[in-house]
Amino acid sequence: MAKPKYLVGIDLGTTNIVVTHTPISSASEGAHPEISLMPIVQELAKGAIEKLEVMPSFIFERLKEKPVLEWDDESKFIIGDYARERGADVPDRLISSAKSWLCNTRIDRTQPVLPWNSPEENTKVSPLTAMSMFLRHVRHAWNAEFGKDKLEDQKVVVTIPASFDAAARDLIVEAARMAELPDVTLLEEPQAAFYSWISQGDKPWRQQVKKGDVVLVVDVGGGTTDFSLIEISEAEGDLALERVAVGNHILLGGDNMDLTLAYVARSKLEESKKKVTQWQTVQLSHQCRKAKEILLNETDKDSVPVVISGRGSSVIGGSMKTSIERSDIEKTLIDGFFPFCDMNDDPVEDTEGGVREISLMYAADAAITRHLAKFLRNQNSNDKQYGFPQAILFNGGVFRSEIFRNRLIEVINSWLNSAGKEPIKVLEGIELSQAVARGATYYGIAREGKGIRIRGGVSQAYYLGIESSLPAVPGFKPPLKALCVAKQGTEEGTTKDVPGRTFGLVIGKTAEFKFFKSNCRRDDEFAQMIDELDETFEDTSSLMIELPAYEGMKAGDLVDVGLQVAITEIGTLEIYCQAKSGNHRWKLEFNVRDAIK
Amino acid sequence: MLILSIAAAAGVYIVYRDDISPTMAEVEPALTICKGLIAEQWHTPLLAGIALFWLLTLLMSLAILFERKKVAELTAEKPPVAEVVPPARDDEAKKQLELLRQQLSEAEKTMSETRDRANQLLSQNEDLKNQLEKFSVSSSEKDELAELKSEIEKLQSTAKSRAEAAEKAEAELANLKSEQQKNSEEFAAARNKLEKLENESKTARKEAEKAASQLKGAQNDLSSKTEEIASLRKQLEELNEQLKSAQADARGGKNAIPPAAYQILYMFQKEGRLIDLLKEDVSGYDDETLGGAIRPIHEGCRKLLEDRLILEPVLNEEEGSEVTLDEIDPEAIKLSGSVPASGPYTGELIHRGWRLKECNLPELVSGWKGNVIAPAEIEIS
């Protein structure tokens, strides 16, 4: 393996992928290194290729298009910009939002299921494979650009949503391995945005925050919304950073806004007895996005005409015209996605009862403010008031628009005000759509010891489900207790034995442990037993182990094991069974195959 | 009576002869007669035998007597002959005597023969008598005869049952025969079929052989064709090389269509529908419709000029202002009105002009294929 020369950050977004890099040597240059974007070469229509700063996270199964990228000679799939373009015409062959499918616990994420609900004759791939295809494309693009400094030899950081649980994190590492990137480090996206803010040189970050501040990072991307809280503390006379909380995975983003506006325009057209096809809705969505940007940026305009051209060669004769009004933006986007609400409000739950078709778990409530209210409320405990942050850092393309930023600030301030707190301070200076990728590279620098590092550790607390030992009572299931095996915030590179717990495992039999997570039980200590599982616990992929026979033991023998928990340097959680006699230990694997009921 | 006797004798003879074993069916008529004779006229053959005996004896006696009379007559005539005969006639007499002697010996001969015959007949008669005696002895054993009869009856019934069995067997045989015939017919049909199949297989084999030979021929052809293809491919490669160089030449040539021309037309159509707009008959639309419809077209095409075909003015001064230039590049500046022979040139800027600052067209990996700039679209529902 060649010596690594670059630090590489890959923002593996739900809708867009961005890659940044910096030479390792520049890490020594201090706090403001030159971080460059690597344009990703992609296939375009008509057998053309082009390097683009952003690669849309779309995969399209080829029809007759001939592969043009040299490494794609045999590939059945188009990845990137042209995939998105073709997918608008032939949606059954398009894989989108693969990352959101990767953390969908209702499906087997290793089975070929995407494109979801597409006809049988189409080739399907698993969410895991889809993610590895993106990473493979990035690797090829990098290697075509950098020649002998191959990506597999560089120090690579891949970003993931903060809400990804331990099993989903494992799957990303597995996808990277499948893409022949054996050594990647994971970083949560909101943290990456924060690193990006730290690395910007316009206004030194130390002047913007002070000890004791809690920074709320709100990341509204194309398809997902992510919240994190970072606390500014002090260590050895300098400011220190600690990520103290992460939110749940919310499938809600900027694309929902464009789609909402498109439906508004469509209903307007249909009111005037004009028929709009599915294809035209896609075009309408593009037009509406442009109209939205005009209305959001040019405050003097009250209305923007939206025209969709006829599909046939009669471009004028077949055209349809309507307009997007300022009131539409205010009503549907600002009030729809960022409504005023109380801090005690909950997101409106899905009222659809009974059977629900498996699909992406889109947020039932589009109100980002209500999701945020619930998140912040849960972070307040007796001794810590994390729910009342002092500063806010915006990330994601949606917040390029000042109107949305202002509305969110207004809402948060109303909460702070009613709690008797100071208004929130806005941290500025990051480039919203590239911040995550840039921050990922900066994290690489920090890992080299050349920059400040956010102490993050485990994003949530994890618990092993343990059945209480009670006398058997027919028809009564012994209540489940929860053993805390990872305290929220446990740092990377820690390995601990769980004291006082011995489990008897039978060799040759599969043992399965129920596994829970919680992102709001910050006071639970490592190895603490919690007697009652309330709604603050969340089911996650169970853990499985099958002990092989060893050292003269045979199938059916009982082995006493203790538990050992490791938070790895790359950001994954590993749990081992350690034999009480001898030095054997076995890793518990996440069961990502069985859906969680 | 005689005939009956003979018949009876014959019947008895046949019945009692051991060496003749005729079938029951064959002897049945004779047996019937014999049976009748034995049953009703068993005395008749005895009478017949006695009658025959007497008759034969009579005949024989008559014959003997008759011969004896002849000899006696010859002997009585002799003395007169001797008396009559003169000495002269002694020789003659001798001759006559000799003749007579001869005649006598002949007669004696005949007589002995007759006697022999009579003896023979006598012995025959004796034989017959013995036989008759024997017969009368056996006939005296009447019981035995009855037994014999019952045995015969048994035999008859056996014969009858056998005949019935035989009949049955015959019927069965007939059945079997018909069956056999049927079978043989089937067999014949099967044989025909087989023959037919054999013929067919023969023809098939012939065809297969033919096909095999054809295949061989085809393989030979193929190998020769492969060689041809290889050589053709070589030629093709050479031609391709030539074509490439020709294309390279052509790109520089004044009549060649550069791929960028296609690419630019393609992009203006794709991003802005410009070709559709220019090709559409707009005379029928009112200005409002036209104006509204042009908006997205203008937007799309403008974006192309921002992103891909980046333009900048040749001169940055305001249009309508006065400009003075010492030297001009005729490619960049067009002078009009009363133009002096040499600079400096002063005049009003009518149009700032455009220059292509940047051209960011996507890289075509293997040129522009064909001459399509906007594909026909078909939507499958």
pLDDT of residue B154: 79
B265–chain A nearest CA distance, Å: 13
Domain residues for B282?
A: 258-324+346-373
* Domain A6-187 and domain A205-251+341-438+448-454 have a common topology: yes
B279 to chain A: which residues are within 8 Å by CB?
Answer: 313
Contact flag B280-A44 (C-beta cutoff 8 Å) = no
User: Closest by alpha carbon to A260, among A330, A173, A352?
Assistant: A330
Give the confidence band of A177 by pLDDT, cuts at 50, 70, 90: very high
- For A209-223, what is the mean pLDDT? 88
Q: CB under 8 Å to A137, separation ≥6 — which residues?
A: A40, A55, A79, A80
- Whether the per-residue pLDDT at A305 is higher than 50: the answer is yes
Domain closes at, from B128, B143, B166: B166
- For residues A290 and B306, give the distance between their C-alpha atoms in angstroms, rounded to a whole number: 16
B289 to chain A: which residues are within 8 Å by CB?
Answer: 316, 319
B232–chain A nearest CA distance, Å: 25
User: Closest by alpha carbon to A400, among A369, A434, A357, A365?
Assistant: A434
Contact flag B363-A48 (C-beta cutoff 8 Å) = yes
- For residues A193 and A397, give the distance between their C-alpha atoms in angstroms, rounded to a whole number: 12
pLDDT tens, residue by residue, A327-363:
888 888 889 899 999 988 888 876 554 454 556 667 7
Q: For A61-75, A417-431, A489-503, B19-33, which range has the lowest pLDDT when averaged over its residues?
A: B19-33
Average predicted confidence (pLDDT) for chain B? 78
Contact flag A46-B292 (C-beta cutoff 8 Å) = no
pLDDT of residue B85: 46
Identity of the amino acid at B324: T
pLDDT of residue B246: 67
Other CB atoms within a 10 A radius of the CB of residue A495 amount to 11
Asked whether residue B135 falls in the same domain as residue B18, the answer is yes
| B306 Cβ under 8 Å from any chain A Cβ | no
- Whether the per-residue pLDDT at B183 is higher than 50: the answer is yes
Contact flag B297-A50 (C-beta cutoff 8 Å) = no
Give the confidence band of A597 by pLDDT, cuts at 50, 70, 90: very low
Mutate to test the interface with B, among A40, A272, A279, A319 (most CBs of B within 10 A): A319
pLDDT tens, residue by residue, B37-76:
555 555 666 666 776 777 887 788 778 777 766 666 655 5
Handedness of CA B235, B236, B241, B242 (dihedral sign): positive
Contact flag B293-A314 (C-beta cutoff 8 Å) = no
pLDDT of residue A38: 93
- For residues A111 and A552, give the distance between their C-alpha atoms in angstroms, rounded to a whole number: 37
| A332 Cβ under 8 Å from any chain B Cβ | no
Burial of B49 (0-12, 13-18, 19+ CB in 10 A): buried
Q: Is the distance from CB of A71 to CB of A89 less than 8 angstroms?
A: no
Q: Is the distance from CB of A285 to CB of A278 less than 8 angstroms?
A: no
Q: Which residue has the higher pLDDT, A66 or A127?
A: A127
B375 → chain A, closest CA residue: A46
Q: CB under 8 Å to A302, separation ≥6 — which residues?
A: A325, A326
User: How many structural domains compose chain B?
Assistant: 2
A272 to chain B: which residues are within 8 Å by CB?
Answer: none
Identity of the amino acid at B91: D
Q: What CATH number belongs to A6-187?
A: 3.30.420.40
Percent of chain A with pLDDT over 70: 93
Distances (CA, A) of B59 to A148, A397, B120, B132: 159, 169, 14, 20
Domain closes at, from B109, B131, B166: B166
| A46 Cβ under 8 Å from any chain B Cβ | yes
Q: CB under 8 Å to B331, separation ≥6 — which residues?
A: none
Domain closes at, from B166, B189, B211: B166
| A290 Cβ under 8 Å from any chain B Cβ | yes
- For residues A151 and A555, give the distance between their C-alpha atoms in angstroms, rounded to a whole number: 44
Omega of the bond leading into A115 within 30 degrees of 0 (cis):
yes
Contact flag A46-B368 (C-beta cutoff 8 Å) = yes
- For residues B347 and B323, give the distance between their C-alpha atoms in angstroms, rounded to a whole number: 6
Q: Is the distance from CB of A212 to CB of A185 less than 8 angstroms?
A: no
Other CB atoms within a 10 A radius of the CB of residue A550 amount to 14
- For residues A422 and A413, give the distance between their C-alpha atoms in angstroms, rounded to a whole number: 8
Q: What CATH number belongs to A254-334?
A: 3.90.640
pLDDT of residue B82: 43
B270 to chain A: which residues are within 8 Å by CB?
Answer: 45
- For residues B191 and B186, give the distance between their C-alpha atoms in angstroms, rounded to a whole number: 8
Residue B226 belongs to some domain of the structure: no
Q: For A277-286, B293-302, B369-378, which range has the lowest pLDDT when averaged over its residues?
A: A277-286
For A327-347, letters b (16+ CB in 10 Å) and e give ebbeebbbebbbbebebebeb
Q: CB under 8 Å to A446, separation ≥6 — which residues?
A: A195, A452, A453
pLDDT of residue A31: 56
Q: For A64-68, B136-140, B329-333, which range has the lowest pLDDT when averaged over its residues?
A: B136-140
Contact flag A317-B279 (C-beta cutoff 8 Å) = no
Of residues B290, B296, B377, nearest to A309 (C-beta): B296
- For residues B161 and B157, give the distance between their C-alpha atoms in angstroms, rounded to a whole number: 6
pLDDT of residue B90: 67
Give, in degrees to the nearest 5, the angle at Cα A518 between A484 and A421: 120
A14–chain B nearest CA distance, Å: 26
pLDDT tens, residue by residue, A395-444:
988 888 888 999 999 999 999 999 888 899 999 877 887 889 999 998 88
- For B287-292, what is the mean pLDDT? 85
Burial of B60 (0-12, 13-18, 19+ CB in 10 A): middle
Q: Is the distance from CB of B270 to CB of B297 less than 8 angstroms?
A: no
pLDDT tens, residue by residue, A478-520:
678 888 888 887 888 888 888 877 877 788 788 788 888 887 7
Handedness of CA B203, B206, B208, B210 (dihedral sign): negative
- Whether the per-residue pLDDT at B89 is higher than 80: the answer is no
Asked whether residue B43 falls in the same domain as residue B158, the answer is yes
- For residues A288 and A329, give the distance between their C-alpha atoms in angstroms, rounded to a whole number: 10
What's the CA dihedral at B70, B73, B75, B78 to 10 degrees? -140
| B290 Cβ under 8 Å from any chain A Cβ | yes
Q: For A517-531, B158-172, B262-276, which range has the lowest pLDDT when averaged over its residues?
A: B158-172
Asked whether residue B149 falls in the same domain as residue B271, the answer is no
- For residues A211 and A237, give the distance between their C-alpha atoms in angstroms, rounded to a whole number: 11
Looking at residue A473, what DSSP letter applies? B
Contact flag B297-A287 (C-beta cutoff 8 Å) = no
| A321 Cβ under 8 Å from any chain B Cβ | yes
| B280 Cβ under 8 Å from any chain A Cβ | yes
A78–chain B nearest CA distance, Å: 15
Query: What is the DSSP annotation of A110-149?
Result: TS--BSTT--TTS--B-HHHHHHHHHHHHHHHHHHHHTTS
Most confident of A232-241, A548-557, B45-54, B302-311: B302-311
Percent of chain B with pLDDT over 70: 75
| A44 Cβ under 8 Å from any chain B Cβ | yes
Identity of the amino acid at A98: A
- Token pair of A214, please? 């809690």
DSSP H or E stretch at residue B217:
helix B142-252
Q: For A14-18, A390-394, A564-568, which range has the lowest pLDDT when averaged over its residues?
A: A564-568
- For residues A133 and A576, give the distance between their C-alpha atoms in angstroms, rounded to a whole number: 30
- For residues A442 and A450, give the distance between their C-alpha atoms in angstroms, rounded to a whole number: 9
| A308 Cβ under 8 Å from any chain B Cβ | yes
Residue B179 belongs to some domain of the structure: no
pLDDT of residue B74: 59
Q: In Å, how far from its chain's centre is CA A540? A: 16
Category of A449 on φ-ψ map: left (φ > 0), alpha (ψ -120 to 50) or beta:
left
- Token pair of A212, please? 């004791």
pLDDT of residue B357: 93
- For B265-285, what is the mean pLDDT? 89
| B277 Cβ under 8 Å from any chain A Cβ | yes
Is it true that domain A205-251+341-438+448-454 has CATH number 3.30.420.40? yes
Most confident of A107-121, B18-32, B99-113, B345-359: B345-359
- For A364-372, what is the mean pLDDT? 88
- Whether the per-residue pLDDT at B84 is higher than 50: the answer is no
A234–chain B nearest CA distance, Å: 48
- For B258-284, what is the mean pLDDT? 89
- For residues A437 and A142, give the distance between their C-alpha atoms in angstroms, rounded to a whole number: 15
Phi, psi of B26 (to 5 degrees): -75, -40
| B287 Cβ under 8 Å from any chain A Cβ | no
| B368 Cβ under 8 Å from any chain A Cβ | yes
Residue B381 belongs to some domain of the structure: no
A321 to chain B: which residues are within 8 Å by CB?
Answer: 292-293
- Token pair of A289, please? 């996005």
pLDDT of residue B26: 54
| Residues in chain B, total | 381
A67 → chain B, closest CA residue: B365
Q: CB under 8 Å to A109, separation ≥6 — which residues?
A: A101, A102, A126, A127, A128, A171, A592, A593
Residue B208 belongs to some domain of the structure: no
pLDDT of residue A130: 94
Average predicted confidence (pLDDT) for chain A? 84
Domain boundaries defined on chain A: 6-187, 205-251+341-438+448-454, 254-334, 461-590
B269 → chain A, closest CA residue: A313
For A59-97, letters b (16+ CB in 10 Å) and e give bbbbeeeebbbeebeebebbbbbbbbbbbbeeeebbbbb
Helix (H/G/I), strand (E/B), else coil: A184: strand
pLDDT of residue A392: 94
pLDDT of residue A356: 47
Give, in degrees to the nearest 5, the angle at Cα A545 between A540 and A550: 165
| A323 Cβ under 8 Å from any chain B Cβ | no
What are the respective helix, strand and coil percentages of chain B, to the nearest 5? 70, 5, 20
pLDDT of residue A129: 94
B362 to chain A: which residues are within 8 Å by CB?
Answer: 44, 48-50
Asked whether residue B11 falls in the same domain as residue B143, the answer is yes
